């Protein structure tokens, strides 16, 4: 065995009803908090403000997707004026993303209470959009010091977002298994993350009040975030980034469609990862892409790029952009191979058996 592993310490409070412990946890980080949320989650932000009582300095509910620089400037002025010393983000990647951008500028600690399965709360990755361009980077200062997972907060998550952000978390785990800097510890998180999400998402859809399944999905999400924050991603994430950025395809839905085909493309070069995925999905290594496809289609999500609105004629350009700059992938990436992958994903047929060495 030969590997590098870097642990990123943080504190995780996990369990149904744990939002009640927010004040106690917050007091370990600061004396005056700004609660950050999107306008849609204003009620939840106010609920959290009540829980933390005198530790609440301001409730800011103007967080939006992709962290526009204008929102950061606006929120930062409040942070400075109110002498805020801790950032409390409640919500999904958008609220947590705003907290991260503020932490990058101010070095203030973050307490995050996630309500989706995006996993941003467990990563040191930040993003910022200026003049329609999204910049991203990694800095340990933005990684939340404390994360509170409360399964009650996912009860209001719409079905569509439950499925696609859950599949997105599976993608973080899957690519972590064959990352350039993959290591046995992160692979343990990744395999168990896929297992937990693949097992819990169908149960949540079948019985929305199944709190055990909701807890398990959050546990898988947490592992997915740990994987995403620890090792590099490859072809799947690169392709989704290209399709989202250039063709404006929806982020989580694109992940859901592409994942089975990206795994199929890499299968012959990642035998150990295929075995881990097979264990997690309760199938055989050569049927992993098919099992991922079955999972997303059984959850009612789109399974083809065509359904997401891209035109077949645009696939050539997508393949070109996705192979323009070199990046790590276990199977060498070339334009013809990626064009073929995109064609499969466009048509959305169940991937055939993958050849595994």
Measured from the CB atom, is 45 or 280 closer to ligand NAD? 45
Measured from the CB atom, is 13 or 353 closer to ligand NAD? 13
Q: Is 151 in the site for ligand NAD (CB under 6 A)?
A: no
Q: Is 129 in the site for ligand NAD (CB under 6 A)?
A: no
Which region among 10-18, 152-160, 210-218, 233-241 touches ligand NAD (by CB under 6 A)? Answer: 152-160
Which region among 33-41, 176-184, 234-242, 288-296 touches ligand NAD (by CB under 6 A)? Answer: 33-41
Q: Is 200 in the site for ligand NAD (CB under 6 A)?
A: no
Q: Is 154 in the site for ligand NAD (CB under 6 A)?
A: yes
Q: Is 94 in the site for ligand NAD (CB under 6 A)?
A: yes
CB of 355 to ligand NAD, least distance (A): 32
Contacting ligand NAD (CB under 6 A), which of 40, 43, 316, 320? 40
- Count of all residues that appear for the chain in the document: 357
CB of 113 to ligand NAD, least distance (A): 10
User: Which tokens hold the place of 15?
Assistant: 């369990």
Cα atoms found within 13 Å of the Cα of residue 47, Cβ hemisphere only = 12
Which region among 116-124, 263-271, 298-306, 337-345 touches ligand NAD (by CB under 6 A)? Answer: 116-124
Measured from the CB atom, is 245 or 271 closer to ligand NAD? 245
Q: Is 241 in the site for ligand NAD (CB under 6 A)?
A: no
Under the rule (CB under 6 A), what is the footprint of ligand NAD? 38, 40-41, 65-66, 91-95, 97, 115-116, 118-120, 123, 125, 127, 153-154, 156-157, 161, 165, 228, 251-252
């Amino acid at each position: 065995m030969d590997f590098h592993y870097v642990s990123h310490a943080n504190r995780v409070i996990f369990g149904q009803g744990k939002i009640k412990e927010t004040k106690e946890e917050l007091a370990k980080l600061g004396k005056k908090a700004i609660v950050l949320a999107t306008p849609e989650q204003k009620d939840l932000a106010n609920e959290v403000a009540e829980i933390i009582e005198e530790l609440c300095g301001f409730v800011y509910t103007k967080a939006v997707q992709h962290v526009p620089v204008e929102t950061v400037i606006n929120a930062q002025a409040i942070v400075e004026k109110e002498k805020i010393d801790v950032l409390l983000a409640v919500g999904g990647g958008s609220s947590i993303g705003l907290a991260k951008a503020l932490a990058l500028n101010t070095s203030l600690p973050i307490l995050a209470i996630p309500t989706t399965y995006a996993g941003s709360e467990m990563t040191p990755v930040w993003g910022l959009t200026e003049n329609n361009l999204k910049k991203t980077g990694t800095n340990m200062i933005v990684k939340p010091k404390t994360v509170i997972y409360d399964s009650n907060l996912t009860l209001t998550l719409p079905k569509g977002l439950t499925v696609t952000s859950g599949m997105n978390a599976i993608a973080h785990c899957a690519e972590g298994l064959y990352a350039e800097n993959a290591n046995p510890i992160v692979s343990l998180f990744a395999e168990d993350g896929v297992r937990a999400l693949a097992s819990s998402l169908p149960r949540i859809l079948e019985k929305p009040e199944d709190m055990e399944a909701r807890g398990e999905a959050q546990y898988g999400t947490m592992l997915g975030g740990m994987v995403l924050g620890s090792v590099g991603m490859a072809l799947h994430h690169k392709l989704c980034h290209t399709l989202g950025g250039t063709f404006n395809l929806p982020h989580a839905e694109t992940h859901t469609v592409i994942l089975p085909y990206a795994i199929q493309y890499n299968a012959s070069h990642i035998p150990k990862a295929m075995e881990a995925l097979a264990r997690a999905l309760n199938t055989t290594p050569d049927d992993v892409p098919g099992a991922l496809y079955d999972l997303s289609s059984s959850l009612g999500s789109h399974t083809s790029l065509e359904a997401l609105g891209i035109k077949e004629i645009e696939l050539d350009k997508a393949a070109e952009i996705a192979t323009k700059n070199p990046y790590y992938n276990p199977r060498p990436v070339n334009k013809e191979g990626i064009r073929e992958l995109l064609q499969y994903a466009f048509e959305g047929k169940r991937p055939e058996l993958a050849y595994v060495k």
